[in-house]
Each structure stands twice: as C-alpha cells, then as structure tokens.
Amino acid sequence: MEAGQLLDEDLELIELAYAATTREATLMDSVKRFLELQGDPGGAMFHYDSITGQVSDTEVVALDSGQAIAIQEVFDSYSSDAGQIENPLITAGLADLLDGKVLINDDVLPFEELKRTEYYRSVLEPLGVRWTMGWIAAGKGQRWMTFTSSRAREAGEYTRENVKRAELYQRHMARVIHVLELLDHAQETKQIFEQSADKLPQAIVLIDDARRITFCNAAARTLLHNSKALNDRDGVFSVGRTTHEQGKFESWWNLLVSAVAVDGAQFDDADMAPVWQIDVSRLGSTAAKRGTGRRWMVTLKQRPDAGDTPLAYLQSQFELTPAEAQVCASLCKNGDAVSTAAILNLSPNTVRSHLKSAFRKTGTKNQVELAIKLVSGR
C-alpha cells in the first residue's frame, strides 16, 4: 500500500485524521474509522508523558458503544487488582515499538506464553481476543501514545494489508499529535487556531499548496520583516537569498506537495540565518481548505542565540541553572525537545531532564506552557 497505490478509503482516513487539527473532527473519529477498515471491533490508547514517564490517560475505543462500556469495565477490573496496566505486547516489544515498528503479539510473544500472563487472563480472554496489533504514535515533543487494536480468532490473522494500513496511519497520527500538542494550551482556553498560534513564541506561518500565506503569528511577522532569506513577496512564502537557493526550495516544496499521503518534512538546504530549519506539518483536511489544496503549518526554527531571551534573565527570573536556561531558550525558538536536542548537540534524554526541572521551577506542566511563561515573564 505505497503512496501511489493508496485506496480511496485510506486517503479518506488520512483526511479524517488531519481534521482533528482544526477541530472539524476528533482524533477518536479517525481511530474508529481505522478500526472499521481493519475489521477490528475495538482497542485502547495509552497516553504517556515522555518527561515524567507516567501514563496520563487510557482511552478505550470501540465501534459499538455497548462494547466500549464492556471493554472499559474489563480494564477497570484489571487495573483495580493489578494497579498499573501492563500490556505484554508493549512490555515485551518496547524496544521495537520505540524504534517505530508496528507489532503483532505473535511477533514478540508466543501465544502459549501470552496465555500465561495475567493481562491475557484478565483482559484479552474475557473479551475473546486472539490477536493484538500495536504501535507508538509519537509527537515531536512531550506526549506520545501507544495504540493497540484487537480481534477475535474468527476474524483471522492480520494481513500484510492490515499492517501497511497501520504503518500509514501511524505516521500521520504522529504528525497530528505533534500539532495538537503545540496547540494544547489553546485547546484548553477554547481559542480559535489563529489566536492560539499568535501566543506561541515559535514563528509559525500557515500556507496552502501554492505557498500562499493565510496566516502569520507575531513571531513570524517579525522574522519575515527582518530576514533577507525569508519573505512573503506578493503573499507567497519563499526561501532563499539567491535565485539558486529560491529554486532549491521551490523544487523541494513541489516534491512535498506532489506526494499523495505526505505528512510533512524539514528543509535546511539554504542559508536562512537565524533560522536553521523549516519544519512543515500538514494541517486540517482538504475539505476545509481556505486556499488551494491542503494547508500546512510552517515552523521557522531559530538558533537559541537569536532574538531577545537573555540566558541571565531566565536564570534570575526562574532560578534556572545555566544548562536549563540554554535548553529553555532553545525550546522557545524551536518548539520541541527533539529539535532542541539537535541544535544544542545534546541527547533528547538530557534535554527532557532539564525540561523536567524547569517544569518544577516554573510551575508549568508541558512544553507549550513553559515556553509561553518564559517569554511572557509571568
């Protein structure tokens, strides 16, 4: 099921997933559609916080509301007896899951061995489950989610087509989660997208397939006004100081939008200082377009020494260590832990450790809240 061989139903699934980024639908709507296409009656989503290492939420999902209640009752009974939910597919296959693989329980644990686990006896067997499929859909920042779907013996083993559809959905779900995480603060206050993005310290531009700009937040407007490499000439977003560099970006963009099932990409093949990378994420569904074709969220990632967030100020105002202040300054310019790690040449775990300490000192709960507080000074 490669990009050129996608079924109409799979393209509709992708569209439904991106509709969650602009609240035309919920992520759960696309999850249910995925289950329907796979022929699976239900599953569960385990939400993790990669900073704290804790499960923050568990969501049961099923095509039938009555079945959802039955699944929830089984989970509640199991967790009340066993405490933390431990799915053998996740615990036994964690390394492969973290590596981005889609797993089926038989891939990591023989069925006879699975049958001896408490999870099977308490959860899978009462629900009549024989096969379970799972993967990690990781956003680029703090939140990541393990999704599992299940089926009975009568449904038969998962096919190659089932696995390919899961791999396709996994990639797009990860991008959607990244966008939703970025706008998490806005969702809590129920603001519309543009008002939300305007509060973020990262420079964000919204464009369509033809690169026509539909929105710039305050940080992006300042950057475009002052940059010699980025501009909005005639309302069209362009990159490059020279004709050659502009041509490279336009060729890259044309390849990006020509892909049927693309979720996003990064561009860094030009001198764009103080921007070091342009990150593009798909946004919204085609049906909700305000320009030509799809819409895209462009994040202009800047080096931590760009702008006016002095490290001494962060150390004094929030009692951060020099290393914590450096990480926080980069977070404000780049928007996520992975990009911050890359630009500072640190491991993601080191960055997350500094962010965990910064959360505690600033009284914030996630990266978006932290960045907004650091910039506002409140």
Phi/psi of residue 62, each to 5°? -150, 155
- pLDDT of 220 strictly over 80: yes
Q: Which helix (H) or strand (E) holds 126?
A: helix 125-127
CA 183, CA 231: separation in Å to the nearest integer? 25
- pLDDT of 291 strictly over 90: no
Residue 181 in contact with residue 201, Cβ under 8 Å? no
Q: What is the DSSP letter of 292?
A: S
- Which segments of the chain belong to CATH 1.10.10.10? 311-376
Q: How far is CA 264 from the centre of its chain?
A: 11
User: At CB < 8 A and 24+ separation, what contacts does 260-269 make?
Assistant: 260/3, 260/4, 260/6, 260/11, 261/3, 261/6, 261/10, 261/11, 261/14, 261/168, 261/172, 262/3, 263/171, 263/172, 263/174, 263/175, 264/175, 264/296, 267/239
pLDDT computed for residue 190 by the predictor: 37
Pairwise pLDDT comparison (84 vs 173), residue with the higher score: 173
Residue 285 in contact with residue 15, Cβ under 8 Å? yes
Mean pLDDT confidence for 160-171:
92
Which residue is it, tokens 């779907």?
Answer: 149
CATH for 186-302? 3.30.450.20
Nearest CA to 292 among 232, 207, 194? 207
Mean pLDDT confidence for 337-343:
82
The model's confidence at residue 211, banded by pLDDT at 50, 70 and 90, is: very high
- Which segments of the chain belong to CATH 3.30.450.20? 186-302
pLDDT computed for residue 2 by the predictor: 44
Mean pLDDT confidence for 287-314:
68
Sequence-ordered list of residues with C-beta below 8 angstroms from that of 105, at least 6 positions apart, any chain: 88, 89, 111, 114, 131, 132, 133
CA 363, CA 372: separation in Å to the nearest integer? 12
Quick: pLDDT tens for 45-64. Answer: 877 665 666 666 778 889 88
Mean pLDDT confidence for 259-266:
78
CATH C-level class of 311-376: mainly alpha
Most confident of 58-72, 136-150, 236-250, 283-297: 236-250
- Which segments of the chain belong to CATH 3.30.450.80? 3-182
Q: Strands 295-302 and 203-208: what pairing?
A: antiparallel
- pLDDT of 231 strictly over 80: yes
**SS3 label, residue 48:** strand
CA 378, CA 372: separation in Å to the nearest integer? 9
Assign a CATH topology to domain 3-182: Beta-Lactamase (3.30.450)
Quick: pLDDT tens for 113-135. Answer: 999 999 999 999 999 999 999 99
Phi/psi of residue 218, each to 5°? -60, -40
Q: b/e map of 120-148 (b: 16 or more CB within 10 Å)? A: bebbbeebebbbbbbbbbbbbbbbbbbbb
Return the number of other C-beta atoms located less than 10 Å from residue 259's C-beta.
Answer: 11
Which residues are 144's β-sheet partners?
48, 138
Mean pLDDT confidence for 181-210:
67
The model's confidence at residue 189, banded by pLDDT at 50, 70 and 90, is: very low
Return the number of other C-beta atoms located less than 10 Å from residue 160's C-beta.
Answer: 8
The model's confidence at residue 213, banded by pLDDT at 50, 70 and 90, is: very high
- pLDDT of 143 strictly over 70: no
